[in-house]
Chains A and B, each alone.
Chain A
Amino acid sequence: MRITVSVDGVSYTDEVEPRMLLVHYLRERLGKTGTVVGCDTSNCGACTVHLDGHSVKSCSMFAVQADRHEVTTIEGLARDGQLHPVQKAFHENHALQCGFCTPGMIMQSIDLLADDPDPSEETVRHGLEGNLCRCTGYQNIVKAVRDAAHQMRPGAGPEAEQVAPSPSHAGGGE
């Protein structure tokens, strides 16, 4: 099947098998290897990307379902060499060790903050319940997400959008 997908701001048109998972399309066809596969059952969340501004598990979608949609991956977050505030907060709070879950964690954290720009510890923990990490015990991840919320707050509008990946996500949560 022929599909046209926008990924990290670039439009791609490709012939794909209907059964091709979105994550395999990103990794194998587009070379977007920043998004990874950690399980078969959608439990681990390592493959999380944004579809039209909302977090989804790219291992539980077919590439054909992304036809005429906009995908943002971890590779599309930084803008003009500027890290997204959530990326920066993960670094500054030591919220990663092996880093395999990190792309999915960051993508889900951004989604979570779009829904709740000032989440409690409890809200963050529940907002990340679809993402597994085996290294950190989550404590610094939770800290990083709340830190990012503080960093983003003054400019939750325009400033965050400047480094946000896709304008469509800035209005996420609706």
Chain B
Amino acid sequence: MIPAEFDYVAPATVEEVVRALTEAGEDAKVMAGGQSLIPVLRMRLAAPNVVVDLSNLSELTGVRDDGDSLLIGAMTTHYEVQRDHLVRDHARLLAVATDTVADPQVRHRGTFGGALVHADPAGDLPAPALAMDATMVIVGPGGRREVPAREFFVDYFTTVLEPDELLVDVRVPKLTGWSAHYEKFNRVAQAWSIVAVAAAVRVTDGTIAEARVALTNMGPTPVRATGVEEALVGQPATAESINAAAARAAEGTNPTTDGNADAEFRSHLARVLTGRALTAAVGA
């Protein structure tokens, strides 16, 4: 299939990107790695007048140590995230979730920022970002602003980004020494998650001191399983307490029904997979 015609710009700076977006208005599409956008253009499900390619923004690539946080450039590819030692050491949940994204070829092109802005409810990176309390660093005509992940995702494929704004960095607070697991449930290796669970825990002397749990595809946006987190804190890192907490995983979720799963099954999966994710994380 063949995309409709469009104008193409590949600015070299963030300022030029913002200017290009401001000029194009609603008719522009930003292309990061293009791994979701290009199939959509090929199927002519979208036909923007202008495609603004971010490939030349080398300033948005790479992971930096910023004290208590990591600053991950929005154009850092999944492949780079997977192999980055800062991510491995301080944001393990993100590393293991990125391992499950799409396939190796797509991970070579696809970017962390692109995946977050795409905001696919079945995408595998919004939930870890939410679980880790990441903050989105956004640049627009009015300058920079920072939006926490819990406010960033608005609806299906929708974020707070305005058409003339750009995600430039993701600030991920370090969870050094935490253990983490991303439990993904899908039908074939390439398929989107039916449900997935991002879990990170800090265990001290056999007790769960802190816990972060977020769910993929249990609603239009990623969902933080706060009930599970509350139930875990202060409990022994045992199968019993994990399972008791996991029973609350579907609280406050709004799962959809599709060909792979109805809402009932998704809710059930959320509970089972939360238990498994936590168990794998703590090694219980």
Contact = CB atoms under 8 A, between A and B. Distances in A.
Given A42-B106, A57-B105, A62-B8, A129 B189 contact: yes
Contacts of A129: 103-104, 189-190
Contacts of B42: 21, 40, 59
22 contacts: A18-B7, A18-B8, A19-B3, A21-B2, A41-B43, A42-B39, A42-B105, A45-B103, A54-B108, A56-B108, A57-B106, A57-B109, A60-B106, A115-B104, A126-B189, A127-B104, A130-B102, A130-B104, A130-B105, A130-B106, A131-B103, A174-B83
A48 B3 contact: no
Nearest to A132: B190
Nearest to B102: A130
B22 interface: no
Interface string A36-52: 00001111010010010
Interface string B27-54: 0000000110011011100000001010
B265 interface: no
Interface in B77-117: 79, 83, 102-106, 108-109
A19 B4 contact: yes
A148 B103 CA distance: 21
Contacts of A74: none
Contacts of A43: 190
Contacts of A57: 105-106, 109
Contact of A130 (B5, B10, B103): B103
Contacts of B190: 43, 129-130
Instruction: Please list the 9 inter-chain residue pairs (A to B) with the smallest Cβ-Cβ separation, ordered nearest first.
Output: A130-B103, A18-B8, A129-B189, A40-B1, A19-B3, A54-B108, A60-B38, A41-B39, A55-B105
Interface in A37-87: 40-43, 45, 48, 51, 54-57, 59-62, 64-65
B238 interface: no
Nearest to A43: B190
Interface residues of A, number: 33
Interface residues of B, number: 30
B256 interface: no
B75 to A, nearest CB: 13
A111 B105 CA distance: 9
Most-contacted residue by chain B among A1, A19, A57, A112 (CB, 10 A): A19
A17 B5 contact: yes
A79 to B, nearest CB: 24
Contacts of A115: 104
Contacts of A60: 34-35, 38-39, 106, 109
B35 A42 contact: yes
A19 B10 contact: no
Nearest to B9: A18
B86 to A, nearest CB: 16
Interface in B183-203: 189-190
B193 to A, nearest CB: 14
Contact of B105 (A18, A21, A24, A48): A48
A166 interface: no
B7 A111 contact: no
Contacts of A21: 2-3, 38, 42
Interface in A122-168: 126-127, 129-131
Contact of A55 (B5, B39, B41, B108): B108
Most-contacted residue by chain B among A18, A48, A61 (CB, 10 A): A18
A51 B77 CA distance: 14
